[in-house]
Chains A and B, each alone.
Chain A
Amino acid sequence: MEPILEANGVKALAGGTAVVSGVELRLLPGEIVWVGGVSGAGKTTVLRALARLSPWEGELRSQGQRAGDVVPHRWRAWVTLVPFPPVALADRVAPDLKAPWGLRVRREARPPGPDTFRTELDALGLADIGLDRSVGELSQGQLARLALIRALLAGPKVLLLDEPDANLDPDAAGRVCRRVARFAAAGGAAVVAGHGAPWPGVARRYRIRDGQWEAAG
């Protein structure tokens, strides 16, 4: 099977210097991989490099295409980073979830409707959040799940999740984990960065130590 995201000898840079070297990744559809490491190890920098939001060197491919052959905004619609801390893109819940659909990269596709929004919010434990609720009133944990739904519905091939379960109670964290597993089961893939225990069922684990990317089983 062709990898949905591939990194060969990638260096993730910040401020002109390599923060993490030797990133090797072959992510197949259906796989979730875990990236661990202490705070400040460079997990975010690696995710940003994979999304082409930070400078990088080496070889990146998605679905057989070299990164250099795909315009950056199209690449990011395929390989979508959900940043930490989460960011609101509109004043209210429904417009926030619709925000990606105002972008040109999705103009050919049909946006999801309120029923889909409702189903997704319920699945992630946000049943009490109305679609017209002000986003400013949400907690960090609620906002994080909203941002995850926004990215999921935008139709990426790969999700890059930066600390997706920070600020979440165990029930909400479990829901997030199961939702991402469903995304992978439907042919997607995810790279999850966190400093807690890896999610159950991840295909592989990696660790960043002293600026080096290494396989951790």
Chain B
Amino acid sequence: MSGALPIGPGQLALASGFLAAAAGLSLVLALGLTRSILVAAARAYVQLLALGLVLRWVFGVGTPWLVLGILGGMIVVAAQTLTARLRGAPPGLFLRGLGALAVSGFTVTLAVTALVVRVDPWWEPRYVIPIGGMVIGNSLNGVAVCLDRLFADLRSRTREIEALLALGATPWETVLPSARSALRAGLIPTLNSMAAAGIVFIPGMMTGQVLSGTDPRVAAAYQIVVLLMISAATAVGSVLSLMAGYRRAFDREGRFGLGDG
């Protein structure tokens, strides 16, 4: 088989017709979403076509530094997204989030491409970039849920934490119960999607591979690897961000700083 059937400008325009239907519906029902629909669609067009061009260029250049640089760029953007998503969290989480995402993103991505899929060369952009994107994106979601839950839970336990500190607890000892529930919250969506994969939905990567003509059995094997590595990356990223981030709720004397007083 020779890959997916190409989609030309005419077909893209035709697909946009469906979107016009959604925008029309919004207008008729006064949903107030028309503008958002059009802007979102325009962004999807521009961003994805640009991505296509960039990837095509990257695939042609053939240097590991470019591939590593792109992975690094994705991690920086993910860390920025993370800090923007964490409302009510203490400041100074960007570098810690960046560190956690970098470790989980690089390790898991390169472990999968180099050890499991064994691409040659190890930095082959056709594999490393899409897999890295999935790893980093999913880690980001896990880490964001985990840290968000951590700080919300700590804040709700302010008096208990102070009482424990007063009895000689270290900050980590007071954080432990919240850390457990935060990790659980961060990991559950990934576990659910592993459990439902193939029955409730066909995962995105497998869909893409099947459309492009890959043998469904091969696509299934890739999808399994991807799901496993996503959960590994989420777990590693969440644990690291927790270990690096919880201290931000305390000062150097180990005093709790998220409470009101």
**A181 proximal to B (CB < 8 A):** no
CB within 8 Å of B: which A68-100 residues: 72-74, 76-77, 80-83, 85, 87-89, 99-100
* Chain B residues within an 8 Å CB radius of A73: 165, 168-170, 254
Q: Are A147 and B165 in contact, with the CB atoms below 8 A?
A: no
**How far in angstroms is the closest Cβ of chain A from B96?**
22
CB within 8 Å of A: which B144-168 residues: 159-160, 162-168
Please measure, in the bound complex, the distance between the C-alpha atom of A112 and the C-alpha atom of B166, giving whole angstroms. 19
**How far in angstroms is the closest Cβ of chain B from A189?**
16
Contact of B168 among A76, A82, A88 (CB under 8 A): A76
Q: Are A87 and B163 in contact, with the CB atoms below 8 A?
A: yes
* Chain B residues within an 8 Å CB radius of A149: none
**B120 proximal to A (CB < 8 A):** no
Please measure, in the bound complex, the distance between the C-alpha atom of A14 and the C-alpha atom of B261, giving whole angstroms. 8
**B215 proximal to A (CB < 8 A):** no
Contacts A54-B255, A72-B253: A154 and B168 contacting too (C-beta < 8 A)?
Answer: yes
* Chain B residues within an 8 Å CB radius of A52: 253, 255
* Chain B residues within an 8 Å CB radius of A82: 166
Q: Are A154 and B167 in contact, with the CB atoms below 8 A?
A: yes
Minimum CB distance partner of A101 in chain B? B167
Q: Mark B169-203, 1 if CB is under 8 A from A, else 0.
A: 11001000000000000000000000000000000
**How far in angstroms is the closest Cβ of chain B from A148?**
12
**A144 proximal to B (CB < 8 A):** no
* Chain B residues within an 8 Å CB radius of A216: none
* Chain B residues within an 8 Å CB radius of A103: 164, 167-170, 173
Q: Are B167 and A100 in contact, with the CB atoms below 8 A?
A: yes
CB within 8 Å of B: which A148-185 residues: 150-151, 154
Contacts A14-B261, A52-B255, A104-B173: A74 and B159 contacting too (C-beta < 8 A)?
Answer: no
**A55 proximal to B (CB < 8 A):** yes
Contact of B163 among A14, A77, A89 (CB under 8 A): A89
Please measure, in the bound complex, the distance between the C-alpha atom of A175 and the C-alpha atom of B167, giving whole angstroms. 23
Q: Are B159 and A99 in contact, with the CB atoms below 8 A?
A: no
Please measure, in the bound complex, the distance between the C-alpha atom of A151 and the C-alpha atom of B168, giving whole angstroms. 10
**How far in angstroms is the closest Cβ of chain A from B256?**
8
**A209 proximal to B (CB < 8 A):** no
* Chain A residues within an 8 Å CB radius of B169: 73, 103, 105
Contacts A14-B261, A104-B173: A80 and B166 contacting too (C-beta < 8 A)?
Answer: yes
**How far in angstroms is the closest Cβ of chain B from A63?**
15
Contact of A77 among B159, B168, B253 (CB under 8 A): B168
**How far in angstroms is the closest Cβ of chain B from A181?**
22
* Chain A residues within an 8 Å CB radius of B261: 14
Contacts A52-B255, A72-B254, A73-B254: A105 and B159 contacting too (C-beta < 8 A)?
Answer: no
Minimum CB distance partner of B170 in chain A? A73
**A51 proximal to B (CB < 8 A):** yes
* Chain A residues within an 8 Å CB radius of B165: 53, 73, 76
Residues of B within 8 A of A (CB): 159-160, 162-170, 173, 251, 253-255, 261
Residues of A within 8 A of B (CB): 14, 51-55, 72-74, 76-77, 80-83, 85, 87-89, 99-100, 102-106, 147, 150-151, 154
Between A and B, 26 residue pairs with Cβ closer than 8 Å are A51-B166, A53-B165, A53-B166, A55-B251, A55-B253, A55-B255, A72-B253, A73-B165, A73-B169, A76-B165, A76-B166, A81-B166, A83-B159, A83-B163, A87-B159, A87-B160, A89-B160, A99-B164, A103-B164, A103-B168, A103-B169, A103-B170, A103-B173, A104-B173, A147-B163, A151-B167
